[in-house]
Amino acid sequence: MADKAVRSESGEQKRTGPSTFYRQVVAELRKVVWPTQEQLITYFFVVMIFVVVMMALISALDLGFGKLAFEVFGGRGD
């Protein structure tokens, strides 16, 4: 199913019809190597751990910069 866009005599490409487009999409999806369930679970936990670590890092930076800004601009009401 190596359908290519058809060129007219003037060198312009004709539009692909919906049925041809659908066949091309299905042909491309058949080429996809889908992960196994074990790989999917592993990828899920890797992504979740990365997200939690990044949330902790950004939260710590936000807290630190917030306290720093309060000390510089807010000060104490002495």
Q: What is the pLDDT of residue 15?
A: 85
Residues 6+ apart with CB under 8 A from 35: 43
- Residue 41 exposed, middle or buried by CB count within 10 Å (0-12, 13-18, 19+): exposed
pLDDT tens digits, the chain, 78 residues: what are they? Answer: 555 655 656 667 788 899 999 999 999 999 999 999 999 999 999 999 999 999 999 999 999 999 999 999 986 654
Tell me the CA distances in angstroms from 17 to 8, 11, 21, 36, 42, one per residue in order.
Answer: 15, 18, 6, 34, 40
Q: What is the pLDDT of residue 48?
A: 98
Q: What is the pLDDT of residue 13?
A: 76
Residue 75 token pair:
């000060």
- Tell me how far apart the terminal alpha carbons of the chain are, to the nearest angstrom: 79
Q: What is the pLDDT of residue 9?
A: 65
